[in-house]
Amino acid sequence: MADWTEQIRRAEARADELGERLADPALAKQPSELATVGKELADLRPLLEAGRAWLAAAQLISDAKEMLGEDDAELRELAEVELAEQEAQKDELEAEIRRLLVPKDPNDEKDAILELRAGTGGDEAALFAGDLFRMYARYAEGRRWKVEPISISESTGGGLKETIVSVAGKGVYGRLKLEKGVHRVQRVPSTESQGRIHTSTVTVAIMPEAEEVDVEVNPAELRIDVFRSSGPGGQSVNTTDSAVRITHEPTGLVVICQDEKSQHKNKAKAMKVLRSRLLDAELDRQQSERATERRAQVGSGERSEKIRTYNFPQNRVTDHRAGFTMHKLEGCMEGELDELLDGVHGALAEQAEAALDTGSGS
């Protein structure tokens, strides 16, 4: 086991520093900085509590070991009981400290942009894209998140070729960010008369919803085109130039939004997606710079990875990054995702903690 004493001392020193800054009257005149300092201090408190309890347990263990050398048999027996209890408590606290020391993603509390695109498999892939969208929408409903469509493109076979929605609520990105990647389905399509299992894929992208302060977009670098919508939505949508296409020329990113009747609303939605894609691209760039370390912790997260398989004949869902399998696929497709997400997040967090232990010299 690692000795966490130094990490705990550093956390206490940082908390003292933050406390002094909060006591400075000048900070009250800087609301954004005040909020940042207050949040960092609040985030440190669970680590401080666990750390202090760990130090106390370590001291009690030391005291109990000294008592084992006493001549009094009753004292030795009490010491043995105390030693066993405190060692168990210390082990639990060490696991908690490892979890708390894993660096947090500052984007975890953000809302998210969710994109699903049918991959290989034709109409069956589009049908599964529709199934995945309903799965996430039902999960969001259960958590009282708000799902707002941005762009939906239906396939001729009744599925979805592409779906882009914003999801707003507490901790959306942090909860869904590990869904990013290629999702594979193995099942018998409804059109298959001989009962053969087909394999199709859907690409899922999860991006933290970017505010203007997160990503600076130069208006001079944008090409904005308006055109007549070709999608559903009624007469006014199809007879006015309400659809908007925004091209970010430096990167070549293109966003189209035509779901709203208002050109202004479509432009606002398209800009929301563009900012989020630019932020996601920057996060991917940062991720690639530390690819070796990151892969050792939670996998590269690249969209090309097949991250999960949904096997309908066996009622099985397997997450390949986490090595996590459960036989509750029907429930998952109904939006009952907590067990799956907890399993994936937990397994990948253990990988990150193991990397942290290695780095701390344990």
Verify that 188 and 312 share a domain, yes or no: yes
Verify that 203 and 334 share a domain, yes or no: yes
Name the stretches of the chain with pLDDT < 50: 1, 232-237, 292-304, 361-362
The C-alpha atoms of residue 180 and residue 305 are separated, in whole angstroms, by: 9
Verify that 116 and 173 share a domain, yes or no: yes
Q: Which residue has 């958590």 as its token pair?
A: 143
Verify that 158 and 306 share a domain, yes or no: yes
* SS3 call for 121: coil
What is the per-residue pLDDT for 217? Answer: 87
Verify that 126 and 196 share a domain, yes or no: yes
What is the per-residue pLDDT for 158? Answer: 85
* Residues in a beta bridge with 66: none
The CATH number given to whatever domain includes residue 254 is 3.30.160.20
The encoded tokens of residue 136 equal: 């996430």
Verify that 81 and 228 share a domain, yes or no: no
Verify that 206 and 336 share a domain, yes or no: yes
Question: From the CA atom positions of the chain, what is the Rg in Å?
Answer: 26
Verify that 209 and 305 share a domain, yes or no: yes
The C-alpha atoms of residue 268 and residue 220 are separated, in whole angstroms, by: 17
The C-alpha atoms of residue 208 and residue 342 are separated, in whole angstroms, by: 20
Number of folded domains that form the chain: 3
**Residue 293: inside a domain:** no
**Residue 236: inside a domain:** yes
Q: Which residue has 């998210």 as its token pair?
A: 112
Predicted model pTM? 0.67
Please, what is the angle between helix 31-67 and helix 5-22, to 10°?
140
Verify that 305 and 208 share a domain, yes or no: yes
What is the per-residue pLDDT for 236? Answer: 43
Question: What is the 8-class DSSP label of residue 104?
Answer: P
Verify that 117 and 179 share a domain, yes or no: yes
What is the per-residue pLDDT for 230? Answer: 66
Query: Which domain, by its residues, includes 352?
Result: 112-213+301-360
* Sheet of strand 222-227: strand arrangement: 222-227, 243-248, 253-257
Element (DSSP H or E) covering residue 319: strand 316-319
Verify that 192 and 320 share a domain, yes or no: yes
Cβ-based neighbours of 290, under 8 Å, separated by 6 or more: none
What is the per-residue pLDDT for 45? Answer: 92
**Residue 292: inside a domain:** no
What is the per-residue pLDDT for 272? Answer: 87
Cβ-based neighbours of 132, under 8 Å, separated by 6 or more: 116, 183, 202, 204
What is the per-residue pLDDT for 84? Answer: 93
What is the per-residue pLDDT for 2? Answer: 55
Verify that 70 and 148 share a domain, yes or no: no
Q: What is the distance between the terminal CA atoms of the chain, rounded to a whole angstrom? A: 6
What is the per-residue pLDDT for 295? Answer: 42
The encoded tokens of residue 198 equal: 């087909």
The C-alpha atoms of residue 90 and residue 114 are separated, in whole angstroms, by: 41
The encoded tokens of residue 197 equal: 């299992």
Q: What angle do CA 248, 250, 253 make, to 5 degrees?
A: 40
**Residue 143: inside a domain:** yes
**Residue 106: inside a domain:** no
**Residue 46: inside a domain:** yes
